[in-house]
Amino acid sequence: YPPDMLDLDLDLEADLGVDTVKQAETFAAIREAYDIPRDETLKLRDYPTLAHTIQFVKDRAPGFAAAPVSDTTASAPEESATRATGLEAPRGDLAATERIPRRVPVPVLRPPLDRCASSGVGLEAGARVLVMPDAGGVSRALVKRLEERGVRVLALDPAWDAEALAEQISAWRAEGPIQGVYWLPALDAAGELAGLDLPAWRAALRLRVKLLYTTMRALYDDIATPDCFLVSATRLGGLHGYGDEGATAPLGGGVVGFTKAFARERPEALVKAVDFAASRKTAALADALIAETLADRGAVEVGLRDGERWSVALAEQPVSDGEPGLALDGDTVFAVTGAAGGIVSAITDDLARASGGVFHLLDVVPEPDAADPDLALFASDRDALRRRIFERLRAGGERATPVQVERELARFERAHAALSALEAVRASGGRATWHCVDLCDGDAVAKAVESIRAESGRVDVLLHAAGLERSRALPDKEPAEFDLVFDVKCDGWFNLMRALAETPPRAVVAFSSIAGRFGNAGQTDYSAANDVLCKGVSSLRRTHPEIRGIAIDWTAWADVGMATRGSIPQVMEAAGIDMLPAEAGIPVVRRELSAGARRGEVLIGGRLGVLLAERDPAGGLDPETVETDAGPLVAAVTAAGVHAGFCARTPLDPAAEPFLDHHRIEGTPVLPGVIGLEAFVELARVTAGGRSLQAIEDVRFLAPFKFYRDEPRTLEPSARLEREGGDLVARCALVGRRSLAGQSEPQVTTHFTASLRFGEEPSSASEAVSRPGEGTRAVGADAIYRVYFHGPAFQVLASAWREGDRAVGRLASPLPPLCGASDAPLAAAPRLVELCFQTAGVWEIGTTGRMGLPQRIDRVWIAPDASEGPGERHAIVSPRDDGSFDVDVVDEAGRVLVRLEGYATALLPEPVADSLGAPLREAMAG
């Protein structure tokens, strides 16, 4: 803004639109420019205007002389505008979309509470705790148990309005500190959406979410230390709506979303949303809520289901699931809310180009007038329009501040986006109709939907993208602002779904946010509203299975939209969170609709930075309580993170372990891949709750784990146990760290990964196969281990030969010990798996002349009683056309002990010397 448009008494935030983050950045730049020492006691609120900021420099700058002060503050609104939607609508690129991770929320197993560390919350005699009751009796049981502990319960009344609630809390605070809050209304089902009218919907959300906002805003200064807590409770099904059956009582999503955001604002306090399955139990739920208060600071989202504890993490999944998606063509009827938003306009453009369909565009702004000269000026010269708006406001006698100017400019920005959407549809051969409607007005929405039916007969795809976001810490977030942000999404969702109830759409896409998935400081309203949408979409699997429901948790967009404004890009960068390139984000909706039949919640974004940081260094686990006698490869389980899973550490010394000393490549000990699998199985068995291993899947040997100079290193396996249908799948990774010269941070490498599938019953024995005969042209161990690098503990082949189109390897017996000091039994039959590797390797050398190192295995099955002997063991290798192998290890009766499917190697570039490879070639000759 030029100087003549800036008065010195303009308020930095109210008049200039400079948020507190940008103010902090501005003062940092001013201190640097004028060499002003940092003052830890400085409060930005003491410098609210430009005049105050200038006085700050005059008072504190050494040897101050008038000089141009950094124009950071004055230029902030300018920066916001220039980062707004461009005149040329951005275009999408599916190739760019595929480069962005596609993640879905999944239930992950938490350790039992008796393995978790104390939360630090005492619930001791004399403590004062607020309880907002449910109607089903859980609160009565909870109050009884709290009072038996000597806790003074301050009971809230659901009938109080916000003002009465705030006054009562203020009176209680005056009497003494309040330690915590139990919030239970979401344990009650509000009823199915079809049975509610708008007043009932709003009343249910007022009790569950808006009174929670009032309560925690009043207690913001109290619930701030490690001994204080907020524990909310829901009935989403025990898995927070991420089970196959979908969410029950989905309005609880608003409580969870708020709770997650409050946890971000109050990271020192214990904050949890505890989810239950539907039941009539009261005492058990009360006991569980107290137990969750007393232990495990590692998870905010906790679900209790079938006697186990769960949380929610993210897993990468492809969009295609083998089922056909929705055909998008000229007959497809779209209803799009928030259609005047820059992001929504660009997505509408993409959908129109792909389909040429019928689009009904809904927004609170009127249909734009293409002949409006101000709109034309916006498209050609925004600075000129900014000046025109300023002069117009001043001529009208108004105080023309940059905030007012930018607010008016934003109106033209939305009008331009709306016009772009309309023109894009028509340019693609489709039909576009604009509906000016307030989504919070149920009657208006019903009329708009009726007009859509009258014109098009139906809605095939509902895209609910309307929403706004205003970040502000809870104490600064006024009720009107909370209502505005929350209601647009939630009331809009209800009014649309109710109006479409008689002719439901084929697909619904709801725009959510990473704030809904993780919570975010300053966004309690936005997080709560988005999680209502996510749980509403989840519940469609139960109530309307014919509707394909998709909720998209967007990260902040680059290039277009709200997050390009102000200091948000800098904040995102500092938090390690990638913004979403427009070219990658725009085609996501089209892909999700057309590339498969997946439904549910999906998160679209790159790096997630601090959002994936664990709340507790040990993930809430008490490592001393975890027995680690599963085997020699898991010395200590050290953590149980929500995102990282169960983590272990095992120091290994090549001088002490034969499996290292006898597995050297060019003299350097290398951790065998089969030992990595052994570590995975041992760790997962410790944490899998007594389930039986069914199979090891999708094994990847990514990088060799070397012990340079024969020095000890620490093995770090991890296992995150995810619920998948009726199974439990452990996503495992083996990490190594090395301190390198000249680097302050260690080098971290993921060496192996695999997924271990567990079930309730032991896996059934595989069918028997024909026992191989003895080969007449077998190659013996002496010749094999002149080629192979393995020492005695890994010289598992006694001989190998060809039998038709397959290779056979006989297990050597006896074999020396594989492990050093530990005599614990091995869980994954590593030398039988190694027998598979080496026999396949003999085939490769004998038929190609080159040695291969393990690269991947599609699936490994191990019999529960598989062992090296006594008795003969043979590996039978069947090559596939794609160069990989299927391998069975059988005993003398032909019973399968180990089966590998899709075992593949990476061939070394240099061929095996003729003198060494000749015996193997002769044995494998056809």
- Tens digits of residue pLDDT in 469-486: 888 999 999 999 999 999
- Tens digits of residue pLDDT in 248-259: 999 999 999 999
pLDDT for residue 760 is more than 90:
no
| Lowest mean pLDDT, pick from 518-532, 734-748, 815-829 | 815-829
- Tens digits of residue pLDDT in 68-112: 333 332 222 222 333 333 345 678 899 999 999 999 999 999 999
Higher pLDDT, 615 or 560: 615
So what's the pLDDT on residue 570? 81
pLDDT for residue 639 is more than 50:
yes
So what's the pLDDT on residue 64? 63
pLDDT for residue 43 is more than 80:
no
Banded pLDDT at 19 (limits 50, 70, 90): low
So what's the pLDDT on residue 61? 82
Banded pLDDT at 598 (limits 50, 70, 90): confident
So what's the pLDDT on residue 71? 33
Contact 554, 514 (CB under 8 A): yes
| Lowest mean pLDDT, pick from 210-219, 542-551, 643-652, 735-744 | 735-744
b/e map 64-75, b = 16+ CB within 10 Å: eeeeebbebbbe
pLDDT for residue 765 is more than 70:
no
So what's the pLDDT on residue 45? 73
Percent of the chain's residues with pLDDT above 90? 72
**Residue 809 bridge partners (DSSP):** 800, 875
pLDDT for residue 65 is more than 70:
no
Higher pLDDT, 88 or 913: 913
Choose among 868, 860, 925: nearest CA to 898: 860
So what's the pLDDT on residue 75? 28
Rounded to whole angstroms, the Cα distance separating 22 from 42 reads: 15
So what's the pLDDT on residue 7? 63
Place of tokens 């079938």: 306
| Lowest mean pLDDT, pick from 17-21, 517-521, 642-646, 800-804 | 17-21
Q: What average pLDDT does the structure give for the chain? A: 90
* For range 574-579, the mean pLDDT: 92
Structure tokens at 238: 């025990």
So what's the pLDDT on residue 67? 42
So what's the pLDDT on residue 83? 31
> Could you check whether the bond before residue 870 is cis, i.e. omega within 30 degrees of 0?
yes
* For range 431-439, the mean pLDDT: 96
b/e map 151-184, b = 16+ CB within 10 Å: bbbeebebebebeebbebbeebeeeeebbbbbbb
How far is residue 317 from each of residues 4, 58, 311, 701, 894, measured CA to CA in Å?
55, 57, 18, 20, 38
| Lowest mean pLDDT, pick from 84-93, 207-216, 902-911 | 84-93
Contact 185, 160 (CB under 8 A): no
| Lowest mean pLDDT, pick from 73-77, 134-138, 295-299, 514-518 | 73-77
* For range 762-776, the mean pLDDT: 74
Structure tokens at 494: 């209800």
Banded pLDDT at 623 (limits 50, 70, 90): very high
Contacts (Cβ under 8 Å, ≥6 apart) of 213: 258, 474, 477, 479, 482, 524, 525, 528
pLDDT for residue 13 is more than 70:
no
So what's the pLDDT on residue 35? 82
Choose among 355, 335, 288, 726: nearest CA to 510: 335
So what's the pLDDT on residue 78? 28
Contact 693, 756 (CB under 8 A): yes
